[in-house]
C-alpha cells in the first residue's frame, strides 16, 4: 500500500493518520499521533483453523517504557509480563470491535497496538480503538465498522471530550463510550457517585462526538478506495437444522417452561442432545447426516445451541417470562453473611441465586501500596481488588494458573466501583486489599464481588463513605421488540445481546461496563437499562444492609495499628539515617514498622499495643529541636579527661564539662560517671557550630523525676 496521510481536527486536538509507512508486512499498519502520544496499530488475518466453532480474535496492547523515556526496572531491564493496566486496555480495544466481525468468520485475526510515545495530555487507549478500526478495514478483513471511541470527563460541572490525565483525576467522571453507525457498542466508566441522569447525558454527549470520527474514517476509506469486504455465511445443512428442530424443539420448550435451576436445566438439555447424537449414530454409515457430522463434529452442538437460543428469546419476547420463572425486572434470592473467616481482618459471603462470592479484606501499612510500573502518570495504588474464578465454580476441572484477562478485568471493574467510597488517605492511612473468591458462578460474579466486598470492608471496620451494590442487566432484541432483563444469569448472558453492569451507592453510580453482542443499541435503550438497574441496585443494597448496616466501629484485633504524624521534610534524612541505619534501629528496638512519605508524613504500625507509641516517641525525640534550658535523660557514651559525652536524644550528643558535673570540685570524671550510666542533663548552651554543652547543675528534683518517668 502506498503511503497515505491525513489529519483530523477533533475537539481541540489534531489526530495525524499515516497508513502504509510502518509495518509493511502486516495486513495493515496504522500510525496515529495526537499531541506527543504516538501509537502503531496493526491488523493481520490468516486462514482459519478447521474444526473450530468460534472466531479466534486476539487483541494485544503493548506498552514500551521508552514511550515515556524510561528504562524498565528489574534485573533484565526489559518489558516482561504486561502490567495490569495494559491488559485492561487490550480488553478495552477488544470489546467494541469483537461484535462487528461476522459471527461465522473462522479466520485468525490479530490486532496489535504498540505505544511508541506518550504524553500526559493524550491517553492512548481510545486512540487505539480508532487505529484498530482503520487497520481492520485496511487489511480487507470482513468487518461491520467503522467503530470509534471517545473519553468523556466531568470537570467543573462541564462535560469535556478528550480530558487530560490531570482532568480525569480531578473530575467526577471517567467514561469511555464506543459506537458505530448502528449505535452504542461499549461503555466503560468510573464515577464519583453521579446521578443516573448525568451518566446518561455523558453517554449521549460522547456518542454524538463519535460521529465525527466515523465520518473521518469513511473519508479515509473513500480516499484509499477500500470497500467493505462482504463475507457470506457458510451454507447451513438444512437437513441437520430440520432434524434438530423436529426432534428437539418440543422437549427444549418444555424444559425452558419448567423453570428449573441451572444444574437441572443443563442436565436435561444435555440429555436431549445426547439422544439426538444417539439417533444419528444409529443410522447406517452411508446416511448423509451421519457422514456430514463425521466431517463437522461440532455442528450438532452449534445447531442445538442456536435452537435453544431462539426458543429462550422467543419465550421472553412473547410471554415476558424467563427460564427460571422470574419477571423481567425480578432479582434472584439474596443472602449475605459477614465475619465468617477467623483471623482475617474482614470477610463476607454474598449469595444471589446460584452465584456465590466470598470477599476477604486485608489492611496493610502505607509501605504495602502497589508500585505501578507502566505508562500511566500515577505511581502507586492504595486500594487493590483481586478476583479469582476457579474451575470448580462452574463445575469444571482445569489446571489453576495465574489470573487471565477476564479475572483481571472483573477485579478491575469491582475495584473501580469501590474506589470512590474508600476513605481518603489523610483520614484512613491503611492500604486496603480485597480478594473476591468466586465459589459458584451463574451470572454476574463481578457485581457479586462488588456487593460482597462492600460487606467485607464494613466488617473490617473500614469507614467507607457509602455502601456500594451492583447488578448486571441483559437485553433481548428481536427486530423492534426490546426486553431489558435485571440480574441476568449465565444462560441469559450467553444467549442474550448485552451484558451491562451497573454499580453504585444510594447517591449515584460509581462504575459502568456495557458490552454488546450485536452491532449497537440506541442511547434510549441504554437510558432504560440504567434506570431499571437503579431499582435493582437499591433492592440488593437493602438486602445487604440486613447483614451489616454500617462499618464496625473498631478494626479487627489482628489488624495492624497505625499512628500517623507529620515531621519537617528536612528531618526525613535524620529518621532514615545513613543507609537506613536509624530507621532499622527504631524497628529493632520497638518491633514497629515505619513508613515515611516525601511530604514528611510518618506512619508507624504495629500489631502489639505500645510498640507504635514507643517508635513515635523515638522519632519525635530524634527530630526534636534542642533548645537551651531543656532537661533530658541521657546515657554516657564516652569519657575524656575534661568531661563526658552524653547521648540524650537518638543521634544527638552533647558534652558535660568536668566543671559542670557537680556543685563541688571534681578531680576525675571517672569519679562521677562511667560509660553506659544514665544521667539527667540540661542544655547549657549551643555554640555557633551547633555543638551542645550540657550540665548537671541547676536541675530541680521535680524536673529530674519528670524526665525519668517520661523515659521509662
CATH number of 579's domain:
3.30.1370.10
Q: Is 493 one of the annotated binding-site residues? A: yes
Do 257 and 40 contact (CB within 8 A), yes or no?
no
329 falls within a domain: no
pLDDT for the residue numbered 236? 85
Clarify whether residues 306 and 338 are in a common domain: no
325 falls within a domain: no
pTM attached to this predicted model: 0.86
pLDDT for the residue numbered 688? 82
pLDDT for the residue numbered 712? 59
The cell numbers describing 535, all together, are 431499582
For residue 348, give Cα distances in angstroms to 323, 453, 556, 582, 666: 29, 7, 14, 41, 71
Do 390 and 400 contact (CB within 8 A), yes or no?
yes
Clarify whether residues 618 and 640 are in a common domain: no
DSSP 185-247: EEEEEEEEEE-HHHHHHHHHHHHHHHHHHHHHHHHHHHHHT-PPPP-PPPPP-HHHHHHHHHH
Q: Is 443 helix (H, G, I), strand (E, B) or coil?
A: coil
> What CA–CA distance (Å, rounded) separates 107 from 56?
7
Question: Peptide bond before 393: cis, by omega within 30 degrees of 0?
Answer: no
Tens digit of each residue's pLDDT (9 = 90 or more) over 563-579: 888 888 888 888 888 88
Instruction: Compute, in degrees rounded to 10, the torsion defined by CA atoms 185, 190, 196, 197.
Output: -80
Residue that terminates a domain, selected from 600, 623, 646: 623
Q: Is 174 one of the annotated binding-site residues? A: no
Residue that terminates a domain, selected from 194, 224, 254: 224
pLDDT for the residue numbered 233? 84
pLDDT tier at 711, thresholds 50, 70, 90: low
Clarify whether residues 198 and 271 are in a common domain: no
Clarify whether residues 591 and 649 are in a common domain: no
Query: In terms of C-beta density within 10 A (0-12 exposed, 13-18 middle, 19 or more buried), how is residue 410 classed?
Result: buried
Clarify whether residues 286 and 394 are in a common domain: no
- Return all residues near 582 (Cβ < 8 A) that are at least 6 apart: 574, 575, 576, 622, 650, 651
Tens digit of each residue's pLDDT (9 = 90 or more) over 152-207: 999 888 999 999 988 999 999 999 999 999 999 999 999 999 999 999 999 999 99
H/E run at residue 419: none
Tens digit of each residue's pLDDT (9 = 90 or more) over 451-472: 999 999 999 999 999 999 999 9
Clarify whether residues 592 and 493 are in a common domain: no
428 falls within a domain: yes
CATH number of 154's domain:
3.30.230.70
Average pLDDT over residues 237-245: 92
Looking at per-residue confidence, does 705 or 541 come out higher?
A: 541
Domain count for the chain: 5
The boundaries of the domain holding residue 247 are 238-319
Average pLDDT over residues 356-384: 87
Clarify whether residues 619 and 639 are in a common domain: no
Clarify whether residues 104 and 194 are in a common domain: yes
Dihedral (CA of 409, 411, 414, 416) sign: negative
pLDDT for the residue numbered 415? 97
551 falls within a domain: no
Nearest by Cα to 362 from 348, 347, 349: 347
324 falls within a domain: no
pLDDT for the residue numbered 609? 64
> In this predicted structure, which of 38-47, 251-260, 446-455 has the lowest mean pLDDT?
251-260
Clarify whether residues 253 and 291 are in a common domain: yes
Tens digit of each residue's pLDDT (9 = 90 or more) over 16-74: 999 999 999 999 999 999 999 999 999 999 987 777 878 899 999 999 999 989 888 87
CATH number of 295's domain:
1.10.10
Clarify whether residues 514 and 652 are in a common domain: no
191 falls within a domain: yes
For residue 1, give Cα distances in angstroms to 34, 101, 146, 681: 23, 23, 20, 86
- Give me the sheet containing 601-606, strands edge to edge: 561-566, 601-606, 593-596
Count of Cβ atoms closer than 10 Å to residue 639 Cβ: 19
CATH number of 701's domain:
2.40.50.140
pLDDT for the residue numbered 585? 86
**Residue 338 pLDDT > 90, yes or no?**
yes
Could you give the angle at which helices 238-256 and 262-281 cross, rounded to 10 degrees? 150
Tens digit of each residue's pLDDT (9 = 90 or more) over 293-303: 888 888 899 99
pLDDT for the residue numbered 537? 97
Clarify whether residues 153 and 90 are in a common domain: yes
> What CA–CA distance (Å, rounded) separates 193 from 446?
19
Residue that terminates a domain, selected from 189, 224, 259: 224
> What CA–CA distance (Å, rounded) separates 17 from 199?
31
Clarify whether residues 651 and 619 are in a common domain: no
> What CA–CA distance (Å, rounded) separates 451 from 461?
16
Instruction: Compute, in degrees rounded to 10, the torsion defined by CA atoms 359, 362, 367, 371.
Output: -10
Do 540 and 469 contact (CB within 8 A), yes or no?
yes
582 falls within a domain: yes
Nearest by Cα to 442 from 318, 322, 307: 322
pLDDT for the residue numbered 343? 92
491 falls within a domain: yes
Amino acid at each position: 500500500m502506498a503511503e497515505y496521510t491525513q489529519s483530523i481536527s477533533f475537539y481541540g486536538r489534531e489526530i495525524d493518520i499515516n497508513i502504509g509507512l510502518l509495518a509493511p508486512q502486516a495486513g495493515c499498519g496504522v500510525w496515529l499521533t495526537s499531541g506527543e502520544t504516538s501509537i502503531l496499530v496493526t491488523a493481520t488475518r490468516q486462514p482459519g483453523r478447521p474444526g473450530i466453532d468460534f472466531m479466534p480474535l486476539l487483541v494485544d496492547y503493548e506498552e514500551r517504557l521508552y514511550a515515556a523515556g524510561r528504562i524498565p526496572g528489574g534485573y533484565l531491564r526489559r518489558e516482561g509480563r504486561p502490567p495490569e493496566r495494559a491488559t485492561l486496555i487490550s480488553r478495552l480495544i477488544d470489546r467494541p470491535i469483537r461484535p462487528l466481525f461476522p459471527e461465522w468468520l473462522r479466520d485468525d485475526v490479530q490486532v496489535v497496538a504498540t505505544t511508541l510515545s506518550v504524553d500526559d495530555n493524550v491517553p492512548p487507549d481510545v486512540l487505539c480503538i480508532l487505529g484498530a478500526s482503520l487497520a481492520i478495514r485496511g487489511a480487507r478483513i470482513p468487518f461491520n465498522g467503522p467503530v470509534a471511541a471517545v473519553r468523556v470527563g466531568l470537570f467543573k460541572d462541564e462535560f469535556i471530550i478528550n480530558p487530560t490525565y490531570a482532568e480525569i483525576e480531578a473530575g467526577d467522571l471517567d467514561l469511555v463510550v464506543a459506537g458505530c453507525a448502528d449505535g452504542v457498542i461499549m461503555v466503560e466508566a468510573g464515577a464519583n457517585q453521579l446521578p443516573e441522569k448525568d451518566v446518561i447525558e455523558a453517554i449521549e454527549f460522547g456518542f454524538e462526538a463519535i460521529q465525527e470520527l466515523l465520518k473521518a474514517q469513511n473519508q479515509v476509506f473513500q480516499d484509499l478506495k477500500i470497500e467493505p469486504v462482504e463475507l457470506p455465511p457458510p451454507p447451513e445443512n438444512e437437513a441437520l437444522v430440520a432434524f434438530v428442530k423436529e426432534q428437539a424443539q418440543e422437549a427444549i420448550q418444555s424444559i425452558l417452561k419448567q423453570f428449573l435451576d441451572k444444574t437441572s436445566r443443563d442436565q436435561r438439555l444435555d440429555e436431549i442432545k445426547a439422544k439426538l447424537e444417539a439417533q444419528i449414530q444409529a443410522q447406517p454409515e452411508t446416511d448423509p447426516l451421519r457422514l456430514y457430522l463425521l466431517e463437522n463434529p461440532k455442528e450438532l452442538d452449534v445447531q442445538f445451541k442456536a435452537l435453544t437460543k431462539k426458543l429462550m428469546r422467543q419465550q421472553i419476547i412473547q410471554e415476558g417470562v424467563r427460564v427460571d420463572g422470574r419477571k423481567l425486572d425480578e432479582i434472584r434470592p439474596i443472602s449475605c453473611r459477614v465475619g465468617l473467616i477467623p483471623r482475617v481482618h474482614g470477610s463476607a459471603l454474598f449469595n444471589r441465586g446460584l452465584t456465590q462470592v466470598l470477599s476477604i479484606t486485608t489492611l496493610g501499612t502505607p509501605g504495602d501500596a502497589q508500585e505501578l510500573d507502566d505508562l500511566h502518570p500515577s505511581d502507586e495504588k492504595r486500594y487493590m481488588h483481586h478476583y479469582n474464578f476457579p474451575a470448580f465454580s462452574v463445575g469444571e476441572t482445569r489446571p489453576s494458573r495465574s489470573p487471565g484477562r477476564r479475572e483481571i478485568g472483573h477485579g478491575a471493574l469491582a475495584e473501580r466501583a469501590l474506589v470512590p467510597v474508600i476513605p481518603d488517605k489523610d483520614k484512613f492511612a491503611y492500604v486496603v486489599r480485597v480478594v473476591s473468591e468466586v465459589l459458584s458462578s451463574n451470572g454476574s460474579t463481578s457485581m457479586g464481588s462488588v456487593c460482597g466486598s462492600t460487606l467485607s470492608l464494613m466488617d473490617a471496620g473500614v469507614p467507607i463513605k457509602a455502601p456500594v451494590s451492583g447488578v448486571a442487566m441483559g437485553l433481548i432484541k428481536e427486530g423492534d421488540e426490546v426486553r431489558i432483563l435485571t440480574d441476568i444469569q449465565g444462560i441469559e448472558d450467553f444467549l442474550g445481546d448485552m451484558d451491562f453492569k451497573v454499580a453504585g451507592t444510594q447517591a449515584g453510580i460509581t462504575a459502568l461496563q456495557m458490552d454488546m453482542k450485536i452491532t449497537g443499541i440506541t442511547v434510549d435503550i441504554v437510558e432504560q437499562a440504567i434506570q431499571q438497574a437503579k431499582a435493582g441496585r437499591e433492592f440488593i443494597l437493602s438486602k445487604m444492609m440486613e447483614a451489616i448496616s454500617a462499618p464496625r466501629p473498631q478494626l479487627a484485633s489482628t489488624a495492624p495499628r497505625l499512628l500517623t504524624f507529620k515531621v519537617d521534610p528536612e528531618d526525613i534524612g535524620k529518621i532514615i539515617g545513613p543507609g537506613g541505619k536509624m530507621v532499622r534501629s527504631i524497628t529493632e528496638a520497638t518491633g514497629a514498622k515505619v513508613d515515611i512519605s516525601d511530604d514528611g508524613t510518618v506512619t508507624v504500625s504495629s500489631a502489639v499495643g505500645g510498640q507504635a507509641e514507643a517508635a513515635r516517641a523515638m522519632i519525635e525525640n530524634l527530630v526534636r529541636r534542642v533548645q537551651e534550658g531543656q532537661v533530658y535523660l541521657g546515657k554516657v557514651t564516652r569519657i575524656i579527661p575534661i568531661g563526658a559525652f552524653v547521648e540524650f536524644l537518638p543521634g544527638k550528643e552533647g558534652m558535660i564539662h568536668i566543671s559542670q558535673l557537680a556543685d563541688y570540685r571534681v578531680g576525675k570524671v571517672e569519679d562521677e560517671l562511667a560509660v553506659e550510666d544514665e544521667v539527667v542533663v540540661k542544655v547549657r548552651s549551643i555554640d555557633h557550630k551547633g555543638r551542645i554543652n550540657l550540665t548537671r547543675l541547676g536541675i530541680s528534683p521535680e524536673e529530674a523525676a519528670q524526665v525519668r518517668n517520661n523515659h521509662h
